[in-house]
């Protein structure tokens, strides 16, 4: 894929922005898939898909706000068929760990006849510095449901590195990389690590799923809150409380620890207003 154009869907998002930059740094031609791009891409406007796929050899496929969103699986199915018809040779699909909608989308890509790699991710560490939980962290609280369930939260930089490898290197076709961080952490553990990195207290606040929905809605709106809450209900039941080796298998190194993420995010000024 080194001399061909790669479409990066969600190029302004957490994973897509990192993937696009990494590919460009490697000198690889990319097409940024976003509503604001010169050749726009919008999941809700299927007429934009064909022009975005024109001349593309591979595509990174992420769905906003999440693959669990109503209509997402049907969109992925239609897009995958269009990509195959357009001559796309490789699809790298981002999905969520423990989500039944994600598995449906994975199966569509598996059966498409196009070479593929699936990156199935744990919860994103960057949700605390770039996502829906940024506001609460700035306020000094981490309001999360799920009790004492432990999550192997993953650094988005690792997800991006795995996706870039799958898009640019041999040996990744047909692989499922389930990517997690290197340790299981409760939300209280995460709050402690954030407190240390930021230099002021961040307190875990156990809440109900209804309260979680209301909290996310205040910062991200009802639509996003509904999706994220349903994902939380489905996945924060202990089903994901185990580590996997997806990062190691894909890029040959261990995943980054949450402590390193929090330290680096703080040093970059992610929560500087809190100081």
- pLDDT on residue 274: 45
Q: Is residue 54 part of a domain?
A: yes
Whole-number pLDDT of residue 1:
46
| Within a domain: 264 | yes
How much is the pLDDT for 149? 95
Q: What is the CA radius of gyration of the chain?
A: 18
| Domain coverage including residue 46 | 5-185+237-268
- Output the pLDDT for position 42: 97
Q: Which tens digit of pLDDT belongs to each residue from 239-261? A: 999 999 999 999 999 999 999 99
Instruction: Evaluate whether residue 70 is within a structural domain.
Output: yes
List the chain residues with pLDDT less than 70.
Answer: 1-3, 273-275
Note whether residue 9 is domain-resident. Answer: yes
CATH number at residue 109: 3.40.50.720
Inside any domain, residue 190: no
Distance CA 74, CA 61 (A): 14
Residue 203 domain-assigned?
Answer: no
Q: Are 156 and 125 in contact (CB under 8 A)?
A: yes
Q: Residue 3 has what pLDDT? A: 57
Reported as a single tens digit per residue, the pLDDT across 42-56 is: 999 999 999 999 999
Asked if 152 contacts 120 with a C-beta cutoff of 8 angstroms, the reply is: no
The vertex-178 CA angle with 177 and 182, nearest 5°, equals 115
Asked whether residue 208 is domain-assigned, the answer is no
Q: Establish if 136 belongs to a structural domain.
A: yes
Report the distance separating Cα 121 and Cα 11, nearest Å: 18
Type and span of the H or E element at 127? helix 127-130
Instruction: Please tell me the total count of domains within the chain.
Output: 1
Contact 30, 5 (CB under 8 A): yes
Contact (CB, 8 A) for 143 and 136:
yes
Q: CB–CB of 219/135 below 8 Å?
A: yes
């Amino acid at each position: 894929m080194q001399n061909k154009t790669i479409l990066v869907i969600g190029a302004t998002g957490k994973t897509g922005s990192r993937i696009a930059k990494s590919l460009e740094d490697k000198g690889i031609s990319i097409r940024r898939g976003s509503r604001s791009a010169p050749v726009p891409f919008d999941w809700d406007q299927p007429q934009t898909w064909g022009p975005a796929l024109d001349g593309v050899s591979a595509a990174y496929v992420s769905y906003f706000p999440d693959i669990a969103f109503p209509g997402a699986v049907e969109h992925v199915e239609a897009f995958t068929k269009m990509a195959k018809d357009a001559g796309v040779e490789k699809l790298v699909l981002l999905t969520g760990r423990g989500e039944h909608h994600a598995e449906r989308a994975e199966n569509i890509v598996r059966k498409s006849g196009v070479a593929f790699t699936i990156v199935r991710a744990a919860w994103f560490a960057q949700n605390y510095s770039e996502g829906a939980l940024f506001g609460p962290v700035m306020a000094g609280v981490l309001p999360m449901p799920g009790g004492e369930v432990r999550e192997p939260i993953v650094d988005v930089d690792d997800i991006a590195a795995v996706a870039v490898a799958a898009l640019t290197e041999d040996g990744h076709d047909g692989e499922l990389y389930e990517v997690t961080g290197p340790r299981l952490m409760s939300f209280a553990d995460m709050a402690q690590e954030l407190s240390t990195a930021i230099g002021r207290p961040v307190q875990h606040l156990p809440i109900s799923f209804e309260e979680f929905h209301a909290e996310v809605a205040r910062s991200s709106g009802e639509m996003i809150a509904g999706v994220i809450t349903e994902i939380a209900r489905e996945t924060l039941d202990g089903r994901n409380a185990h580590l996997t080796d997806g990062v190691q298998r894909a890029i040959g190194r261990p995943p980054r620890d949450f402590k390193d993420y929090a330290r680096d995010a703080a040093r970059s000024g992610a929560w500087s207003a809190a100081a």
